A and B are shown apart, each in its own frame.
Chain A
Amino acid sequence: MTRAQRAVLRAALAIVTAATAATAAAPAAGQQSGREAALALRFEPLEFRPPRAAEHTLSNGVRVLYLEDRSLPLVNVYARFRGGFSNFPRAYYAAATALPALVRSGGTRSLPPDSLEALLERYAISTSVGTGGGSSFAAMNTLTRNLDVGLGLLGDIVRSPRFDATRVEVWRGQEMESVRRRSDDPGRLAYSEFNRLLFGDHPIGWEMEASDLEPEDLAHDRLEWLHRRVFCPGNLILGVTGDVSWEEIEPRLERLLAGWEPCAEPLPRPPRPDVRTEPGVFVIPRSLEQSTVVMAHVVNVRQNDNPDYFASRIGTSIVGSGGLSSRLMARLRTERGYAYSVSALWTAPVDYQGLVGAVTQTKSDRTVASIRLMLATLGEMAEAPPTDAEVDRTVDEIVNGFVFNFESAAQIVARQMAYRAARLPDDWLERYLEGIQEVDPEDVQRVYREHVHPERMLILVVGDPEQMDEPLAALGPVTVLDIPGPAAAQP
Chain B
Amino acid sequence: MRNPSLPTPRLPTLRAWARARARVRGIALAALLTAAGSAAAQEAPRGDALPVREITLANGMRFLVLPQRGSPTVAFVTQYGVGGVNESPGTTGIAHLLEHLLFKGTSSIGTREPDAELGWFRKMDVLHDSLLSTRVAQATDPAAILAMEGRLRALEDSARALVVPNELDEILSRNGAQNLNAATTNESTLYYVELPANRAELWFVLESDRMANPVFREFYAERDVVVEERLTRVDTSPGGLLYETHLGAAFQAHPYGQPVVGWMSDLRTHRREDVVDYYNRFYGPVNAVVAIVGDVDVDQVEAWIHRYFDALPAGERPPPVLIEEPRQRGERRVEVRFDAEPAVRVGWHTVNAAHADAPALVMLSALLTGGRTSRLYRDIVVERRLATFVGATLGPGERYPRLFSVEAYPRSPHTTLEVEEAIYAGIARLVEEGPDPVELERVRNQLEAGSVRRLETNFGLALQLAGSASLNGDWRTTFRLEERMAAVTAADVQRVARTYLTSENRTVATLVRSAPEAGEP
Contacts and interface: CB of A to CB of B under 8 A. Distances in A.
Nearest to B9: A71
A398 to B, nearest CB: 8
Interface string B343-377: 00000000000000000000000000001110000
Contacts of B480: none
Given A69-B6, A335-B221, A489-B515, A396 B174 contact: yes
A17 B199 contact: yes
A475 B340 CA distance: 30
Contacts of B237: 185
Contacts of B411: 173-174, 176-177
A78 B459 CA distance: 23
Interface stretch (A46-54, A86-94, A152-160, A294-302): A46-54
A169 to B, nearest CB: 7
Interface stretch (A198-206, A272-280, A285-293): A285-293
A330 interface: yes
Contact of A123 (B173, B388, B445): B445
B455 interface: yes
A399 interface: yes
A73 B453 CA distance: 9
Nearest to A405: B71
Contacts of A141: 453
Interface string B302-339: 00000110000000000000000000000000000001
Contact of B224 (A113, A145, A323, A337): A337
Contacts of B23: 73, 145
Given A169-B385, A335-B165, 15 more contacts: A33-B206, A35-B167, A38-B205, A68-B3, A73-B452, A114-B373, A145-B26, A173-B385, A177-B341, A286-B339, A287-B339, A290-B236, A335-B160, A393-B174, A399-B176
12 contacts: A34-B108, A35-B108, A69-B5, A121-B445, A124-B449, A173-B411, A184-B238, A185-B238, A329-B166, A337-B220, A337-B223, A408-B457
A397 B412 CA distance: 49
A323 B456 contact: no
Interface string A39-68: 101011111110111110000000000111
Nearest to A74: B452
A4 interface: no
Given A34-B109, A46-B197, A51-B5, A403 B73 contact: yes
Given A71-B70, A337-B224, A401-B176, A176 B412 contact: yes
Contacts of B517: 489
Nearest to B108: A34
A415 interface: no
A362 B225 CA distance: 9
A355 to B, nearest CB: 23
Given A72-B452, A290-B232, A393 B442 contact: no
Given A184-B341, A290-B232, A400-B199, A33 B412 contact: no
B212 A407 contact: no
Interface string B395-434: 0000000000000010110000000000000000000000
Q: What 10 pairs between A and B have smallest CB-CB spacing?
A: A337-B224, A400-B176, A124-B449, A401-B176, A34-B108, A33-B209, A337-B221, A184-B340, A340-B229, A54-B3
Contacts of B87: none
Contacts of A35: 106, 108-109, 167, 171
A117 interface: yes
B22 A73 contact: yes
B202 interface: yes
A337 B228 contact: yes
B109 A38 contact: yes
A180 interface: yes
Interface residues of A, number: 106
Contact of B196 (A17, A36, A105, A177): A17
Interface in B6-58: 6, 9, 13, 15-16, 18-19, 22-23, 26
Contacts of A38: 109, 171, 202, 205-206, 209
A34 B452 contact: no
A402 interface: yes
A402 to B, nearest CB: 7
A286 B340 CA distance: 12
B171 A491 contact: no
A258 interface: no
B232 A341 contact: yes
A24 B202 CA distance: 11
Given A24-B201, A74-B452, A333-B225, A290 B235 contact: yes
A180 B442 contact: no
Contact of B308 (A32, A334, A337): A32
Contacts of B409: 177, 181
A393 B173 contact: yes
Contacts of B222: 334, 337
Contacts of B144: none
B205 A41 contact: yes
Contacts of B15: 71-72
A324 interface: yes
B411 to A, nearest CB: 5
Interface string A69-82: 11111100000000
Contacts of A46: 72, 196-198
A344 to B, nearest CB: 16
A346 to B, nearest CB: 19
A487 B108 CA distance: 52
B212 A33 contact: yes
A361 B232 contact: yes
A422 interface: no
Contact of B446 (A55, A121, A181): A121
A122 interface: yes
B297 to A, nearest CB: 11
